[in-house]
Structures are given as C-alpha cells and as structure tokens.
Structure 1
Amino acid sequence: MFGFNFDKRILYIIIGILALRRIAAYSTQEGALLGLLLTIPGLLIAISFHEFAHAYAADKLGDDTPRRQGRLTLNPMAHLDPVGCFLLLFAGFGWGKPVMVNPNNYTRKTTLEKGDALVSIAGPLMNFFLAILFTIILCLTLMYTNTNINIIGSAMYISSSSEMTQIIIETIFYIISINIGLGVFNLLPLPPLDGSKVIRPLLPYNVKTWFAKNEIVFYIIFLVLWMTGIAGMIISPIISTLNTGLLNLGFSIFGI
C-alpha cells in the first residue's frame, strides 16, 4: 500500500519525545523517582521470562534457532532491548529483543501458523503466570509481616512499621502490575505484537494476506493510538481491572 520503506529511526524519535514528556512528569511528582527505581526488578523479570517463554516454546516445537542464538536463558542481558526497556520505564510501553524463530524447523505435528501462534502466546501466558505467582508471594508477605494494604484503583496504600517491608511489598506490587500490563499489551491484535500471530490461524486467507501486505499500516496505527492516548484509554481499564481483580482474589483466598 505504501511505496516507501519505513525508517524505524522515525519511530524512535517520536516515542522518544513521549518518553521525555514522561520524564518531565516524573520530575515534578514527589516519590516518583523511588517508584521508578522499584519498577526495575519487575521490568527485568517480565521481559526476561516473556522472551524466554517464546524461546522455550519454539525449542519444544523443534526449532533450535533460539537455542543457537543464546535465547533459551533467563539472563536478562540476552533479552533486553535498550530502547524498548527505556520506553517501558518512561513511556509506559516497550518491548524486549524479539526471539527469532524459523517455523520451517517445527517437527511437532502442527501447521506453521499454529506453531507461530503457540510460540507467540507463550510470552503473554508467562506474564500472566508470573502475575499470579507474585500475587501469592505478596499475600504471604502481607500475612507474615502483619502489614495492611489498601488498593484503590491504581493506587496502593501500605501500613507497615518497617520501611524495608514497605519497599519489598511495593516492588512485588510493581512486578504484578508490569507483568499484567506486558501480557495485555502484547495480546493486542496489531503487528508486530504477539496478538497478531495468535489470531492469524483464525482469519480467512484473504484477510491474512492483506495483513501481511499492509503491516506498515499497523505500525502507523499503533503509533497514532499511543500518541493520541487512545491506546491508554483502551488498555488501562483492562489492566487496572485485571490487576485489582487478581489482588482482591488473592486477598480473599488468603483471608487478608
């Protein structure tokens, strides 16, 4: 549809401007810098496990490409993309280094599209699993430290006699939130996100062909949605609902 090659440097410049705006906002908020630092463990865990899940799924399907490229590891350095991590910290969205796979190497009885869908959905599913796991860890921490917590919307209020305990609880909370956010974000059915490959086997052939030919359109749609705040309006309520719902479920189960 477009007669030009899309220069990713344009993408970096535009979202870099968004990141600078977010940094400026942080500089005027009390305690925002500490909150930013406490998100770093969540970022490392979410991205590393997300990309590892892609690599592991591909490896199990018979493609050894991720293994040969050193991606079948939980070492964050193998999975972090500098620009994507910077934006995840400051702009509210980002990405890890994509795991390269070769669907032609799949040895299990599956079509190339279904194999791609399985590899793609493995990342978000891992993020949701981590969110559940750390919700359990959070509940156990609250129980054994006699700490009270109150979640109102996206705000969290902690009552603890120990500052270190409060920092640990906040860090766990961010790990949960970031994993839910990364999982939901990647399930958006827009190329190049995981969601586009997850739904591909369900689409008619002509629709799949159109998607492949017009992938640049979806990059532009993606940028427009984020720059105008429409994406946030769509995704934020979903993330907030899942986050609050998961925490409340955990609190109910553990009697907190």
Structure 2
Amino acid sequence: MDFLAFDLQQLPYVIVVLLIAFTVHEFAHAYVAYKFGDLTAKNEGRVTLNPVSHLDPVGTIFILLFGFGWARPVPVNRFYFKNPRLAGILVSFAGPFSNLVVASIGYFVWYGLLAAGVQISPLIVPFFEMLIWLNLVLFVFNLLPFPPLDGYRIIEDLVSTDMRAKLTQFEQYGMLVFLIIVLTPLSHYTIDPLFQTVLPFISGTLSQFFSGIFF
C-alpha cells in the first residue's frame, strides 16, 4: 500500500515493535517521575507496561502513514520534585534512554542466540532488525532540541530561569519549525543527514560491543 510509510511485509513487525517501544518509553518517564515523588502519572495509571495506557491513536496512525508519530505524553508536575532541575532532566532523559536499553537488549539477545547456535527462523530476523532500528530512531529523535521532544525539555532544565521563560514564549514557534523540518522536503537537508550519520554510528558501536561479548 503506497499510502503507508512501511510495506505490508514490515507492517506486523512495526506494529509489535511500536507497542514495545512507545510503552517502554512512556513507562520510563512515568516511573522516574514517580520515584522522584510525583504521583501524577501513577494516579492516572501510567506507571504500567500496558500499551493501552500509553498509545495515542492519532500518533500511531501518523507513524504508520508518515514514519513519524507519538504516544500519549506522560503528565509531570514539577511541584513535587525536591530538586526540579535534576529530576526534570532525569525524567525527560528516561524515555529516550529506555529505547536505547531496548535496542541494546535486542542486540544482546540476537548475538546470544547466534553464539548458542540456535536455529533462528527467517521470520524472527526482521523483528530483531526492526526492534533495534526503531528504538534507536526513537532514542535519537526524542533527543532533538525541539518542543515537545525530550531533548527540548532537557535544555529547559539546563538553562537559567530567565532563559527558560524566554524559551517558553517561543515554544509554539519552535513546534512549528520542528513540524516544517520533519514533515516537509527540508527533512532531506536537516533530519535525514543526522540520522544517516548518528544512527549507523550508534548501531555499529552497539553491534561491535555485543558481538565482542559473545565472539
């Protein structure tokens, strides 16, 4: 189907991996916020690995159609944090970091199976490829310094209070710039080169590390 971002053979793997990646990402935000004293996400049932609690229908459809989407944002109330800046940074970073962890687990299991001489079904290979690739994409993508991504939230907590106030004033325009960069042909000159260099580097580094463990 030409209107989809993925072909029909990839689609089942994409759906399963999205369920895993989005769920783990949002759970990580909610769990870290909860551990720092914010019960907001917990009270809304977000400290869970149940995908139903985290998936956004529109965001899921977007990623299937355009290769770009989102899950339901985790509500965070900084009022409950004893150290709002540190807690805010760690809560924001927890989501992307969880995707890096999932990709690492994918490599670990893959090379572990190969080292053990397990006969791997051809149907399983695309799953591991998609699991690793999509989680690395989410790791890098969510660290971009544009609202509403986690990278932007981290920058908010790193800068001074005055600068944070100024960033808030221009946040709506930042979101517009972000959408233009991602959804228009400008992506060929902005996002695409970044992913074509950073993703292979991270993937290659993880591959070498885990292959070195088993071989």
| 2:70 corresponds to 1:100 | no
* 1:1-256 equivalence runs, <5 A: 23=4, 26=6, 32-106=7-81, 109-110=82-83, 112-145=84-117, 165-226=121-182, 227=184, 228-229=186-187, 230-255=190-215
Task: Report the Cα offset of residue 198 of structure 1.
Answer: 1.1
Q: Quick check: 1:138–1:173 contact (8 Å CA) kept in 2? A: no
Q: Percent identity of the aligned residues?
A: 35
Task: Report the Cα offset of residue 184 of structure 1.
Answer: 0.8
User: Structure 1 unaligned runs (5+)?
Assistant: 1-19, 27-31, 148-161
RMSD after superposition: 2.0
SS in 2 for 1:39: helix
The code of the aligned residue for 1:131 comes to A
Q: In the TM superposition, what whole-angstrom CA distance separates every residue of 1:17-59 from its partner, at most 9, and x where no partner exists? A: xxx9752x75xxxxx3112221222111110000000000110
CA distance in 2, matches of 1:178, 1:242: 13
The code of the aligned residue for 2:95 comes to G
CA distance in 1, matches of 2:98, 2:26: 9
SS in 1 for 2:73: coil
Indicate the residue corresponding to 1:5 in structure 2: none
Q: Quick check: 2:107–2:210 contact (8 Å CA) kept in 1? A: yes
CA distance in 1, matches of 2:207, 2:64: 23
Indicate the residue corresponding to 1:9 in structure 2: none
CA distance in 1, matches of 2:174, 2:195: 17
Q: In the TM superposition, what whole-angstrom CA distance separates every residue of 1:203-248 from its partner, at most 9, and x where no partner exists? A: 2344322210011111111111111222222233212321233123
CA distance in 1, matches of 2:161, 2:3: 41
Q: In the TM superposition, what whole-angstrom CA distance separates every residue of 1:171-208 from its partner, at most 9, and x where no partner exists? A: 02211111111111111111110011112232234432
User: Structure 2 unaligned runs (5+)?
Assistant: none
CA distance in 2, matches of 1:91, 1:202: 32
Q: How many residues align?
A: 211
CA distance in 2, matches of 1:206, 1:101: 21
CA distance in 1, matches of 2:46, 2:111: 32
CA distance in 1, matches of 2:181, 2:196: 13
Q: In the TM superposition, what whole-angstrom CA distance separates every residue of 1:56-89 from its partner, at most 9, and x where no partner exists? A: 0110011111111010100000000112122223
